[in-house]
Amino acid sequence: MKVIIIGAGASGLMAALNIPNDYEVILLEKNTPAKKLLQTGAGRCNYWNEEINTTKYNTQRKLELEKIISRKNQQAVLTEFAKLGIVPKIKNGYYYPSSESSQTVKQAFLSKLEDKVTILENFPVTDIKVTKDKFIVSSNDKSLTCDKLIMATGSNASLKEEDNFAYNFLKKTKHAITPLLPALVSLIIKDKTLLSLKGLRIDATLSLIEDNKLIKKETGQLQLTAYGLSGICTFNLSSLVARGLYNGKKEIIKINFLDFLKTDNYLDYFNKRNELMAKPKAITLFETLINYKLVNALFSKEKISPEAKWEDLTSKQKKSLLTSLSAYEVQVFSTNSLKDAQTVSGGVSLNDINVETCESLLVKNLYITGELLDVDGLCGGFNLAFAFITGYLAGRALKDD
């Protein structure tokens, strides 16, 4: 029996590792193995997270997802990493190899697969045909035939040019595909005040308001760019924003720069702070707490003189200033493109696969894994973990045949 795996990324490598030795395994890669894996975690490979659960993912099929990322499957994959010799270094729940080098993970896989799998690099698949009981996989003028096919191609995210062969094939074979949108991506705004602060990084809590309804909150470092909002807390909201914009919703981000103060009454807090600091200039009350560039920009926006004292401000001025600092509202008009995104929101519905094996319910002996499925996770190793788990399920499924 021959199996072809398309894609030598996280999912494809894990699948190859778990296929029984009595199969002939060919791993096809259009570039070089683990190329995307090498870039994760700023080259340190954030391959897992200790808080893997359905709240960390976006999908239309939470119940099916829960079965895929079960504790049993998580433990099985972590055991595979242990067998590879990879010892985790855990920081704030993020898993990295103890070497803190993604090269370690790549080499561990390739060393284990060396005598087991034929890897064909620079083999861009351009077409797949299904015969009665075989798959014919083509790359320009070359063709390979197999009995079982594992699609672990990844998505169109971060690619300069869209490569649609996988999605085209899956659509042709009647798989339901949720529209593909950017995820883990920056947001585009038109707010002059924030855009003037490009390059600024500041801790904040972001609330996503969709059609006047609070959808989700994220706390972390916000990065202001020449076109909008970036940083991990922004990325973690971006999938929901992209989906909302696609469906014609109004997307507002409300920013709290003062959330770290842990108070429900900002006016009372700054009245007391003013007394404690012996009534300095009003701007000093804020510049000693948060970045002076942001403070100056907001004082200018509210038309408050940097020389004014706190007690000189009217109640209306104080309220408006504190609202700008704790509930700054900005409308999101779009996200950056798929080529700028780390992953994709959307893909093959989990309804179309066997969640225990990742085998298609529409095409026998076809397995679909990783980013091709309608699941996208937050920053922190969640997307790689999902890729590893689904790759494991697909590879292991062949042991039961």
- Give yes or no: residues 137 and 241 share one domain: no
Contact (Cβ atoms closer than 8 angstroms) between residue 124 and residue 29: no
- Give yes or no: residues 85 and 192 share one domain: no
- Give yes or no: residues 137 and 207 share one domain: no
pLDDT in tens, 23-77: 999 999 998 999 888 888 889 999 999 999 999 999 999 999 999 999 999 999 9
The number of folded domains in the chain is 2
**For residues 7 and 27, what is the distance between their CA atoms, to the nearest angstrom?**
7
Residue 323: count other Cβ atoms within 10 Å of its Cβ.
Answer: 13
- Give yes or no: residues 202 and 214 share one domain: yes
Work out the percent of the chain whose per-residue pLDDT is above 70: 98
At 8 the three-state DSSP class reads coil
pLDDT in tens, 330-382: 999 999 999 999 999 999 999 999 999 999 999 999 999 999 999 999 999 99
- At 401, the pLDDT band (50, 70, 90 cuts) reads low
Burial of 279-295, coded b for 16+ CB within 10 Å and e otherwise, reads eebbbbbbbeebbeebb
Q: Alpha carbon 251 to chain centroid distance? A: 19
**For residues 200 and 293, what is the distance between their CA atoms, to the nearest angstrom?**
8
Q: With a cut of 60, say whether residue 161 has pLDDT above it.
A: no
**For residues 166 and 142, what is the distance between their CA atoms, to the nearest angstrom?**
17
- Give yes or no: residues 130 and 226 share one domain: no
Q: Tell me, what CATH number does 86's domain have?
A: 3.50.50.60
- Give yes or no: residues 265 and 216 share one domain: yes
- What is the distance between the terminal CA atoms of the chain, rounded to a whole angstrom? 11
Contact (Cβ atoms closer than 8 angstroms) between residue 180 and residue 376: no
Quickly list DSSP for 178-247: EEEEEES--EE---HHHHTTTT-EEEEEEEEEETTEEEEEEEEEEEE-SSEEESHHHHHHHHHHHHHHHT
pLDDT in tens, 91-142: 999 999 999 999 999 999 999 999 999 999 999 999 999 998 999 999 988 9
- Give yes or no: residues 201 and 325 share one domain: yes
Instruction: Specify the pTM.
Output: 0.95
User: What is the pLDDT, as a whole number, of residue 178?
Assistant: 95
The helix (H) or strand (E) run that includes residue 5 is strand 2-6
**For residues 176 and 347, what is the distance between their CA atoms, to the nearest angstrom?**
8
Domain's final residue, options 286, 314, 336: 336
Domain's final residue, options 336, 356, 379: 336
Full domain range(s) for residue 353: 2-182+345-400
User: Average pLDDT of the chain?
Assistant: 95
Identify the CA nearest to 123 among candidates 100, 106, 107, 144. Answer: 144
User: What is the pLDDT, as a whole number, of residue 376?
Assistant: 98
What torsion do the CA atoms of 110, 116, 121, 127 make, to the nearest 10 degrees? -130
- Give yes or no: residues 217 and 127 share one domain: no
E strands within 44-141? 48-49, 57-58, 88-91, 94-97, 117-120, 127-130, 135-139
pLDDT in tens, 231-274: 999 999 999 999 999 999 999 999 999 999 999 999 999 999 99
User: What is the pLDDT, as a whole number, of residue 268?
Assistant: 98
- Give yes or no: residues 122 and 60 share one domain: yes
User: What is the pLDDT, as a whole number, of residue 35?
Assistant: 86
Work out the percent of the chain whose per-residue pLDDT is above 90: 93
Q: Which two tokens stand for residue 51?
A: 């808080």
- Give yes or no: residues 88 and 230 share one domain: no
- Give yes or no: residues 329 and 358 share one domain: no
- Give yes or no: residues 203 and 130 share one domain: no
Domain's final residue, options 336, 355, 377: 336
**More confident of the two residues 158 and 391:** 391
